[in-house]
Each structure stands twice: as structure tokens, then as C-alpha cells.
């Protein structure tokens, strides 16, 4: 079954939307991004996320062979 988006369905979906507050850590404590100064907000948009499980960490005591 395919979903067909109509203008009416789009308007209904817009009415159901709610504002979402994003919190992030700045200088050791969490605070809503909306309350940050302009410089910090600009920095936040440039941040890159990474998956810590995919990061390769060498074992400091083992000698690696390549």
C-alpha cells in the first residue's frame, strides 16, 4: 500500500507537531541550545557526531604488527 501525501494530510501533520528542546553540554553542564549565545550556537551546528564503538583504539601495551 502506498501512502499518498495530500495538502490536507500535510496540514494535519503540521498541527500535530510540537516544539522539541535540544539540550547539550557547555562548560560542564547541560543547557537548552536555544539559550546559548550566537557563537556557541554556531559552533553547535558545525559539530560532528561519531560512533564511539567504531573508533579504533590501539592497546598501549601491545606491539602491533602490520
Q: Which residue has the higher pLDDT, 10 or 40?
A: 40
d(CA 2, CA 25): 42
Q: What is the model's pTM?
A: 0.43
Residue spans of the domains in the chain: they are 19-66
- Is pLDDT above 90 for 14? no
pLDDT tens figures, 15-58: 777 778 888 876 778 888 888 899 989 988 888 877 777 777 66
Amino acid at each position: 500500500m502506498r501512502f499518498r501525501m495530500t495538502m490536507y494530510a500535510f496540514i494535519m501533520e503540521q498541527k500535530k507537531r510540537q516544539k522539541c528542546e535540544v539540550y547539550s553540554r557547555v562548560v560542564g553542564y547541560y543547557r537548552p541550545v536555544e539559550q546559548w549565545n550566537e557563537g556557541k550556537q554556531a559552533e553547535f551546528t558545525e559539530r560532528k557526531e561519531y560512533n564511539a564503538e567504531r573508533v579504533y583504539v590501539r592497546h598501549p601495551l601491545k606491539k602491533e604488527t602490520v
